[in-house]
Amino acid sequence: MHVLFCSYGNDSIALIQWAHERGLKDVVCLYSDTGWSASWWIDRVARGEALAQGYGFTTARTESEGMLELVKRKRGWPGAGGQGQFCTAELKVLPALEWLDVNDSDKESTAMTGVRRSESRHRSDAEEHIVESERHGGRELWQPLVRHDDAMRDALLHRAGFDVLPHRSLECYPCINANIDDIRLLSEDRIRLIDITEKDLGFTRKGKPRVMFRTARRKGAVGIRAVVQWAAAPRPRDQMEMFPAECDSGYCGG
């Protein structure tokens, strides 16, 4: 069995098309519902699943408690205050491993992602094959698009009948690693939701506000409203590589 971890962004759709063109059999496209996607992203997921099903692939989804419930339970945002990036583990990795253990107890499946080396410096040394990936429970990991540049990826998208999105996957909207362009995409509804949550979380014992984004990395901007204002400021070049392109979990592949 080939398990394609799909967020249904550009690289995920390209991976589905690649698997179809290579004639892979026994393919499952697995989507992790983080409960934190953009409101319209579920329509994108459904369209991606329809593509996969049209190729004879199986589609499945994992569920999680969702970002807001997780943040409330942890009393803070992932990555803030030195807490670490627990959102990836809680919302994606653990549910995916549970799914794998149920559907592939013998660990004979091959995990696949659409990670590409040209995405960012952060992924410039991504491996194509890992015989036993710890992040996938000791299963084989195959990332066949690691050498694909944007043009090669885009060609796969066009053959799949998809236009190229001008942004990354919005399964997490926003990701805690959001860069300036990601923050500029935020809708007022999502900004308001983050603002309310930040205020509900209050302050740490040291008197620091429990905000989503670290202030030190964003010129002292405290709270989502200030971060949005900071991101909107004119710049010679948007700093796409200011932070990691995506979480380095083995389950995020565009």
Task: Read off the pLDDT band of 243 (50, 70, 90).
Answer: very low
Instruction: Let me know if residue 64 belongs to a domain.
Output: yes
How do residues 1-30 score in pLDDT, each as one tens digit?
999 999 999 999 999 999 999 999 999 999
Domain housing 64: 2-159
Give residue 232's identity as a one-letter amino acid code.
A
How do residues 58-81 score in pLDDT, each as one tens digit?
999 999 999 999 999 999 999 755
> What percentage of the chain reaches a pLDDT higher than 90?
80
Instruction: Calculate the CA 42 to chain-centre distance.
Output: 14
Instruction: Let me know if residue 215 belongs to a domain.
Output: no
Instruction: Let me know if residue 114 belongs to a domain.
Output: yes
Q: Which residue has the higher pLDDT, 249 or 156?
A: 156
How many structural domains does the chain have?
1
pLDDT at 202: 95
Task: Read off the pLDDT band of 123 (50, 70, 90).
Answer: confident
How do residues 172-181 score in pLDDT, each as one tens digit?
999 998 989 9
pLDDT at 149: 96
Burial of 47 from C-beta contacts in 10 A (0-12 / 13-18 / 19+): middle
Instruction: Let me know if residue 7 belongs to a domain.
Output: yes
Task: Read off the pLDDT band of 250 (50, 70, 90).
Answer: low
Question: Hey, which bits of 21-57 come out as E strands?
Answer: 27-32
pLDDT at 231: 92
When the pLDDT of each residue in the chain is averaged and rounded to a whole number, the result is 91
CATH number for 118: 3.40.50.620
Q: Which residues contact 83 (CB under 8 A, 6 or more apart)?
A: 74, 76, 77
Alpha-carbon distance of 60 to 137, in angstroms, equals 19
